[in-house]
Amino acid sequence: MLDFCRRNLRKGNKAEKKTALVTHSVLPPLKRLSRDQHPISRKQISPNALKVLYRLKDAGFEAYLVGGCIRDLMLGLEPKDFDVATNAKPEEVRQVFRNCRLIGRRFRLAHVLFGREVIEVATFRGHHSQPDENEEGQHQLSKASEEGLILRDNVYGTIEEDAERRDFTINALYYSINHFEVLDFANGVEAIAERKIELIGDPETRYREDPVRILRAIRFATKLNMQIAPATAEPIPQLASLLKSIPPARLFEEFLKLFLAGKAFDNFMLMKQYGIIKQLLPALHKAIAQEPEGKVFQLVSQALQDTDQRVADNKPVTPAFLFAAFLWYPVEIRSQTLQLESGLPPVDALNIAMAEILSDLQQRIALPKRFSLVTRDIWSLQNRLARSRGKRALTLLQLPKFRAGYDFLLLRAKAEGGELQQHADWWQRFQQENESGQQQMLQQAGPAADGPSGKTRRRRNYKRKRSSQPKP
């Protein structure tokens, strides 16, 4: 959880302006739900999370379960993980638990480790202080950039202040082991009943503090089957460009949550509607805009829907495949332009186009190399799968990336049909055949389909002949 505070910490930025961002409470009166007024039973809570709460309590601290886990339990869903908020400082948390690791240099969080389960324990965060008053305090500084982006978030505070710093009203629910109460600081229970995603405080200010909240609003709306409240939705299109200021590594992590958690298609459609695809994947946006319901959109939709289906079936999914789908047509378009304008041969043009498009992507979203290499392989295989029907077909079949490349060909065939469908059918049969069947298919595939291809080989032979001739 509270990843955002760690990630927002950046080293000294000259443009930092010392401002107080929030000076008075925007919260409604606190509502307390006693045990008989909410559905959360201790049986549904991770025993390790309960252990953390009791140990902190015994050591004289306040401790609560907070955020997504309480929201999900209220909704009858199984929480992904359990997060704790406490008035104990990170060092104090460490003294209570031996199995504890402090992480984050400037904003310290405690991870209490129980085998593979990690319970994240965060100290209540407070309001942003007035300039200078806390300058010397190591953990007491919050700063905002000129644009209102929070660069540091290191002030500790009360539970009320902690609630106010959270993003959505449904995420500001706290569960206490004292009387097994739920503390509702921002009318989150009502919002859950109304199925409404609503930011705490002034939406524009909250988006400017951390534009990733735009993506989180969309993600929670689709994940929880809720609507974004009008005032929370309204500023999104205008502020979507703020996402460009988010560090690419953080955006990649958000992309994983948006696209590999079972709601990829719905998230994409909302992101498109709110003008976010235009900001984060401008090349894709342009390609779709040329023909809104055309093959580009079909390919991407199919890839997203297939991904959602795989997640539902508990099959593995990879971001490499999705990025291959997002950027395949931009690569094709660029490659064609390079051939036409610079007279580059197709293979060279494709290589340059792939490198350009991937490097452009890295400026915004840091797709790790282990994935971008696979994306590249998938793209490179497309031409080879379309042409190599001779003996090379057998070699291709042995390549580790064959499966991904073939799956991508199927996807393109679904989006475009025509000749691609024939190639896809041929490969499907080829894989099903035994050795002799495969040999037969290779013989049947006439010279036109042979190699990458007959033409290239002829050219090579021609060169070989020439170079073997004695020079005059």
Least gap, CB of 80 to ligand ATP (angstroms): 5
Which residues, numbered 75-134, are part of the site for ligand ATP (CB under 6 A)?
80, 83
The residues, ordered by sequence, that sit 6+ positions from 76 with a Cβ below 8 Å of its Cβ are 39
Rule CB under 5 A: say whether 1 interacts with Mg ion. Answer: yes
**Binding string, 367-386, against Mg ion, x = CB under 5 A?**
--------------------
**Binding string, 212-251, against ligand ATP, x = CB under 6 A?**
xx--------------------------------------
CB-wise, 70 or 183, nearer to Mg ion?
70
Least gap, CB of 212 to ligand ATP (angstroms): 5
Q: Which member of 9, 68, 252, 322 binds Mg ion (CB under 5 A)?
A: 68
CB-wise, 83 or 198, nearer to ligand ATP?
83
The residues, ordered by sequence, that sit 6+ positions from 100 with a Cβ below 8 Å of its Cβ are 93, 94, 110, 111, 112, 113
Least gap, CB of 125 to ligand ATP (angstroms): 9
What percent helix, strand, coil does the chain show, rounded to 5? 55, 10, 35
Residue 304 and residue 73: Cα distance in Å, rounded? 28
Is 245 within 8 Å of 239 (Cβ atoms)?
A: no
Q: Which two tokens stand for residue 339?
A: 């051939």
H or E segment to which residue 70 belongs: helix 68-74
Instruction: Specify whether 83 is catalytic.
Output: yes
Least gap, CB of 168 to Mg ion (angstroms): 12
Rule CB under 5 A: say whether 66 interacts with Mg ion. Answer: no
Helix (H, G, I), strand (E, B) or coil at 367: coil
Least gap, CB of 358 to Mg ion (angstroms): 31
Rule CB under 6 A: say whether 272 interacts with ligand ATP. Answer: no
Q: Which of 72, 153, 162, 167 is catalytic?
A: 167
Instruction: Specify whether 81 is catalytic.
Output: yes
**Binding string, 153-182, against ligand ATP, x = CB under 6 A?**
-------------xx---x-----------
The residues, ordered by sequence, that sit 6+ positions from 301 with a Cβ below 8 Å of its Cβ are 265, 268
| Range in contact with Mg ion (rule: CB under 5 A) among 65-73, 190-198, 257-265, 271-279 | 65-73
Instruction: Give the strands of the sheet with 83-86, arranged side by side.
Output: 31-33, 182-184, 173-176, 63-66, 83-86, 117-123, 109-114, 100-103
Which residue bears the tokens 């959109």?
A: 297
Residue 167's binding partner, choosing from ligand ATP, Mg ion, none, with beta-carbon cut-off 5 to 8 A by kind? Answer: ligand ATP
CB-wise, 126 or 390, nearer to ligand ATP?
126
Q: Which two tokens stand for residue 311?
A: 């997640």
Least gap, CB of 316 to ligand ATP (angstroms): 20
Rule CB under 6 A: say whether 2 interacts with ligand ATP. Answer: yes
Q: What angle do the packed helices 319-342 and 369-387 form, to 10 degrees? A: 60
> What are the residues facing 85 on neighbouring strands?
64, 122
- CA distances, 279 to each of 239, 240, 271, 274, 391 (Å): 10, 7, 10, 10, 45
CB-wise, 77 or 355, nearer to ligand ATP?
77
**Binding string, 382-411, against ligand ATP, x = CB under 6 A?**
------------------------------
Phi first, then psi: what are they for 110, rounded to 5°?
-105, 135
Residue 171's binding partner, choosing from Mg ion, ligand ATP, none, with beta-carbon cut-off 5 to 8 A by kind? Answer: ligand ATP
Q: Which member of 67, 90, 148, 201 binds ligand ATP (CB under 6 A)?
A: 67
Distance of alpha carbon 437 from the chain centroid: 44
What angle is formed at CA 377 by the lines to CA 373 and CA 378, rounded to 5 degrees?
120
Residue 415 and residue 332: Cα distance in Å, rounded? 15
Residue 166's binding partner, choosing from ligand ATP, Mg ion, none, with beta-carbon cut-off 5 to 8 A by kind? Answer: ligand ATP
Q: Which two tokens stand for residue 347?
A: 């293979």
Rule CB under 5 A: say whether 65 interacts with Mg ion. Answer: no
DSSP of 341-362: HH---HHHHHHHHHHHHHHHHH
Phi first, then psi: what are they for 199, rounded to 5°?
-70, 150
Residue 188 and residue 91: Cα distance in Å, rounded? 31
Rule CB under 6 A: say whether 1 interacts with ligand ATP. Answer: yes
Is 445 within 8 Å of 423 (Cβ atoms)?
A: no
Which single residue brings its beta carbon nearest to ligand ATP?
Answer: 68
| Range in contact with Mg ion (rule: CB under 5 A) among 33-41, 62-70, 222-230, 382-390 | 62-70
Residue 213's binding partner, choosing from ligand ATP, Mg ion, none, with beta-carbon cut-off 5 to 8 A by kind? Answer: ligand ATP
Rule CB under 6 A: say whether 199 interacts with ligand ATP. Answer: no
Least gap, CB of 47 to ligand ATP (angstroms): 19
Residue 194's binding partner, choosing from Mg ion, ligand ATP, none, with beta-carbon cut-off 5 to 8 A by kind? Answer: none
Binding site for Mg ion (CB under 5 A): 1, 68
Active site residues: 81, 83, 167
Binding site for ligand ATP (CB under 6 A): 1-4, 67-68, 80, 83, 166-167, 171, 210, 212-213
